[in-house]
Structure 1
Amino acid sequence: MTNPLPPVDFEAPPLNPSGYGLYTAATVFDLTGPARQLGGVTVRPYNCDDGAGTYSTDLCDTDPAVKAAGERGAPLTFSPLVVWAASECAPDQTEAEVMGRAAHTRRLHEPLLVESAFAARLLADAGAPTVVPDVETAVGMLEEFLGEQGYQGYIHAARRWAAPLSEYRWNNQTGPLRRSPLDHGYVFGGGYADALGDVLIATGPLFVWRYEPFEQVVTTGSSGTPEHNNSVYGLSERIVTVAYECAIMAVQIGATP
């Protein structure tokens, strides 16, 4: 027998972004006012100078070490990108409700889109990765590389590597950022899956600049009367720039899990 009563509509509640990725690891600067970073950001490193060393206390040393200022880390310029999301208007929703839906879609997908774009930059900067046989060797090489820099850094990896890497840590961690045995931060970006695959990349400190979202209702079509046009939708956009400081290294695991 067919039930004569219609089903009850239920709109699922909005969810928060999953975390554990780039936005969790980076120092995030939320900017207001006019967008002044359309030309990008040039990071002038403070932690990459190589003017350091040792020398002997022998007062009669015939070949004393040269104490020189060394070289400063080279500045790196990072270009911004615009993340957008759109939601088409519905007859039973107000413009405010449609804009809220577009804003939520952008908020949910923004970290993934930013991570995917940043991964392409990391791969280009790192050059050809060093091929290693397994994830244990990969982490060991990256930790050794970061240790040579003198600071705690970050290891970027697709989420497929989270389970194998969970074997290589000192204790059960409950914070927002998972860490390696030597306490470098793992950046398990949801947007790294296709971009990085079986490549893991180590970097120095991470920074994100993001402007306030720009939101508007967009009308498409040729008529001057909005009601007569073909489509009306809510559009949410945001300008985001991501950067890292200092050195970078990539390793590629020979066998994908």
Structure 2
Amino acid sequence: MNLRQLSLLGLLLAGAAPSHAQIANLGQEGTAAQANLAALAAGAPAVVPRGSSYGLIGSPYVDNRWLPARITLNNKIPLAAVPLKYDVLEQRLLMRTVERPNDSLQLDDRRVVQFVLLEPGFAQGLGRQRTFRRFEEAPLAKNRPDYVEVLHEGRYTLLKHYVKSLKKADFQGAYSSDRRYDEIEDKTVYYLRTPEAQLLPVKLSLRPLQAAAPALAAALKAAASKQNPKTEADWAAILNAADPAPAK
């Protein structure tokens, strides 16, 4: 990837517009949105990890695609949708421009509190939107600036914390492990946040969820009995049925 620092003018022209034609009315436009977007342009050019000698296995991103994203700053004003990637390994947000698709800019995300990735087909009801917010309630202080994906939100909240680490190649020397590739290892931890603001690590199966949310035990069992939940999306749907979001 060829990574260069983009001019502020280019960032504003390209950053605010790419997905507007596809996804109308999803972000704020005009002077206020551009001013907020300009505040994110202070980030330095990003360098993506590359493997040594034999290459790299795995990806640093939560999603390898450049997806339109709505960003919300701490002033609660959403920005116009921009193409975004979340680099979990380095805990940073990268943005792309349409005019220079091989360029990427690391955003200064100190004011970012949330972003929403819009998968293809969302405007037509075929895709989905994925919400990421700061992990403010993380058990470890070092993880609180991280972003977590919100899989369900009602009285209880189901959060997905992505963790990635880089294992370097080791194939030189008499006592090497003959591991010829750098490898990005993935770990996922799910948490259920209770109405009392407790944060409980959970596994996505019936009994652990019932133990973490005893008030939902019967509703979870009833919802799970109607399908054979296996995937993360299945369990999110079961929580949506057992613990619907409050009316706004």
After TM superposition, is the score higher than 0.5? no
The alignment's TM-score, normalised by the length of structure 2, stands at 0.25
Instruction: Tell me which structure has the larger Cα radius of gyration.
Output: 1
